[in-house]
Structure 1
């Protein structure tokens, strides 16, 4: 059997169990994909394409898994903080509040979305490697926690906190010198990372807070995203807990500890199964408990910051085939979206899968390259994916599209950002309308 035939067979064997990776995905009697009780074909007709759909059942299941795992493995207080950079809108803020999630916001823009969505102050946590004056002002006004990235930022914050009526708590971001195994663009914890402070700088920052009466109560670090092996977190926790132990000698007690997030998901059949959330939570919880026991430290409140592992699986992108082209070596399927709404393949060769909306298990005829309409050779969403014969006008779904697509989208080539809908119990609710030409021109100033 050729390698091509083997790939086709493997894909066809996996399709019945993967579908679009969503909790509520199914095939109707008419062999059509249904998500959240809604026919995908009908959704595309109603809302147009490209279209992004979020399945509430899949989102709820992921949030519940984190909550349940923390309850099983961590004996003290804990919290789950949704990383807003994965995708943030008012609808997502409201969903997060239903699950008692905190919101991780980077900058005044995300803070504004969180506030508009009704997030209470005590549930807003602010990150940022180079916070502007506007970012810091918004954080002091609306956030419950500010994660301090560097010593200069701490000095700027001190001036603002002197006159603040409701002072947010401060956490210091540690650069532990240990990265997780992932793409170099997604690593954040290595020694030369742009994020956070060295252990010595953390000690300086903590003493500064003590001297100036600043409300420091936590430590934070993050090592990267889309990883499957939690072992490097253990090494970073040793560094963080050693710092906490050293600072406890001067009277400071660590009330909160966050090892960030970044737990991975499977984007392609070759990457299955999905990494277990339970594995990640158990490892972190046990490492914190044992590390604190060894250092005679009280258990802090443990905060996890998942984004991708909450959102990616819940989102699906729907595209329409506009043209089919055969070149010397490749069959091209051109769709009406691509790097403008999903730049991840162009940025770091992220791999995706896709399925036809109708009769998704029809026989594959060979590999296809699925590309967008934009004037870049890098605008190829999926390479060499075994696919059936598809006609112009057919719909494709790309699963695992819930995280970092919409948050990183652009107006390249004048692209208008797609509509986003929420699917729950057979109902489709528009949560972000499709961008228009009027929107594109709204910022232009007549000369």
Structure 2
């Protein structure tokens, strides 16, 4: 347990411009903040999150360390739910896209806040059910679900979001053998472009995901002859880390047309899942819309489209991931060696890197760093924060403006809740970090740090090699 600091001063540091504008971020949209809503600075010039001093957390739990703020995560969940309550006159359900960070604690928090869970593998499905999530609120995605995963989905009783013909026909056969209908949605590519990284742009026509629009009538015709497949609705997702509202405003009309088309084949679709995609603020240059604004845009679009086509309002679903958990977490590192190349660059190495955050090397993602043990120090040096792995591309932040760094300084990288732990690896046989949940001055381990011995757990040495 880490205690709340005796004194917290939100004006003690030149870095306070990165802190939420009001205590505990009341009324702020978490995805528009660089740091968790509870971030503050102590009289000793240390960063605190959830009332816990990050320096004390590193001393107690080691580094690298994921520090997840429960208040920020719950606030984001509530803002999504409240937005739908305010702007959508029909039934709605917010799903946490758990691929962003799937673990028992986060699934349990999301479920406790009234959210369902979007999963994309048997492992994520097992985690959600083990965390106590109601199977009726679990939606199973994926473009190549195995037969074993589909069997698990049928056994659990969750919804299956069908991605392709093979899966559709396989499910039909399995449902017939089981003798009971399977609730499904269809994933359809909406053909809507958005400005984001090519790897996370999934709504345009050249995508590995979903049925293309010109296939949808054939799919509906097939489903009309398959009573064992209970088609509840359609799903679309246009991408990730999106700041534009227009693509989401356009989506309602596209999906409403699918509902009308389904009616011609005797199918009544009662659910529309608009996916997720709302971006977060990774650096000062990022300016995403608020959760409330995004939800209003989606709701207005669907309501207008349904009214125009004179169809009943469906159950409206969305699947935020990054905008829920991303801003709630920071990662703490210890500074190690430095290499100065006069006139070119200064490299400062930390005790983690691409194994705990592969997004910079994968997506060229940019982050903001702070010095957690010297929050008031002036930023006078431009350095490149390098990871410890044997890879030239293992760079966390290139040209970061920071105070002069010293060995054992605690460097904090903000906005690391999404696609950091979930994409972490053991590259170079480096153990994956631990994670703590912080709230009201208490810290609780939610993921144990791997030990060196854990790296050998799955290895097998043949007798012939002994």
Give TM class, smaller chain: over 0.9
RMSD: 1.5
Partners of 2:114 and 2:283 lie apart in 1 by: 31
Which SS does the other structure have where 1:375 is aligned?
A: coil
Where in structure 2 are the equivalents of 1:25-36 lying within 5 Å? 25-36=39-50
378, 395, 401: which one pairs with 1:363? 378
Contact 1:258 1:302 in 2 (8 A): yes
Does residue 74 of structure 1 match 2:88? yes
CA offsets, 1:360-404, max 9 Å, x none? 121122211101011111100001111111110111111101000
230, 242, 257: which one pairs with 2:272? 257
Does residue 137 of structure 1 match 2:122? no
Where in structure 2 are the equivalents of 1:162-201 lying within 5 Å? 162-164=176-178, 167-201=181-215
In structure 2, the partner of 1:330 is: 345
CA offsets, 1:75-107, max 9 Å, x none? 100010000100011111111111111110111
148, 162, 168: which one pairs with 2:162? 148
434, 448, 451: which one pairs with 1:436? 451
Which SS does the other structure have where 1:24 is aligned?
A: coil
Which SS does the other structure have where 1:53 is aligned?
A: strand
Comparing 433-442 and 165-174, the one that deviates more:
165-174
Comparing 154-163 and 246-255, the one that deviates more:
246-255
Contact 1:15 1:361 in 2 (8 A): no
In structure 1, the partner of 2:399 is: 384
Does residue 124 of structure 1 match 2:138? yes
Partners of 2:139 and 2:157 lie apart in 1 by: 6
The alpha-carbon deviation at position 38 of structure 1 amounts to: 0.8
In structure 2, the partner of 1:294 is: 308
CA offsets, 1:220-276, max 9 Å, x none? 0111000011211333332221121122133322100011001000101121x4421
In structure 1, the partner of 2:99 is: 85
Question: Runs of 5+ in structure 1 lacking a partner?
Answer: 1-10
Partners of 1:314 and 1:110 lie apart in 2 by: 20
Partners of 1:211 and 1:174 lie apart in 2 by: 20
Contact 1:175 1:197 in 2 (8 A): yes
Does residue 41 of structure 1 match 2:55? yes
Distance 1:23 1:15, change over 3 A: closer
The alpha-carbon deviation at position 357 of structure 1 amounts to: 1.0
Contact 1:140 1:167 in 2 (8 A): no
In structure 2, the partner of 1:373 is: 388
Contact 1:174 1:240 in 2 (8 A): no
Does residue 339 of structure 1 match 2:342? no
The alpha-carbon deviation at position 15 of structure 1 amounts to: 3.5
Partners of 1:14 and 1:47 lie apart in 2 by: 28
Q: How many residue pairs were aligned?
A: 436
Contact 2:272 2:316 in 1 (8 A): yes
In structure 1, the partner of 2:3 is: none
Comparing 352-361 and 293-302, the one that deviates more:
352-361
